[in-house]
Amino acid sequence: VFYIDPKKGLSGLRKVLRLVETPRTIEGVDIAHLGGNQTVASLVQFIDGLPFKPGYRRYRIRDVHGVDDFRSIHEVVARRFQRLQDESEVFPDILLVDGGKGQLGAAMAGFDDLKIEAPTVIALAKRNEELFVPGHSEPLRLSRHAYALRLLQYVRDESHRFAQHYHHILRRKSTLGEN
């Protein structure tokens, strides 16, 4: 466990991502499945660098069969942002996708297909903690001690935890025959 300074993390993100304003809202998306069965997605929301549990959402992936994280990310991004747009809700300042270049491309395709202007969308790959940004062929590599990276890791890890938790609930229900 390492210390996260949300304020420094957010101002670091503003600098690294060259944003006009310091971001306040970050949403993180992750996919969970077991061999392609019962694929689910989680969406976590952070406000001012801290988890905002009432903003958490869970999704059962409907339109993807088998293991396809890219199509699953596309589906959840499209569903989430179509709903936000339909209800005239405010988009998050940053959408963080768990994964690399492929996951980032899948998320961006979700916006393109809906003809919705995307917020700042980034992907964080766990292997080397590389940050993928649209329009950049090479990932950004932040210092392992950077507050911005620590904040993104916190969001990513929380979305992963939440997705796994939901997946375990569904798996337990199907195994035990619960409703």
Amino acid 8: pLDDT: 95
Q: What backbone phi and psi angles, to 5 degrees, belong to 158? A: -70, -40
Amino acid 38: pLDDT: 76
Vertex 110: Cα angle to 148 and 149 (nearest 5) = 10
**What is the four-CA torsion angle of 5, 9, 12, 17, rounded to 10 degrees?**
180
10-residue mean pLDDT series, the chain (179 residues): 82 96 97 76 95 94 87 96 96 97 96 96 94 94 94 94 77 65
Amino acid 78: pLDDT: 96
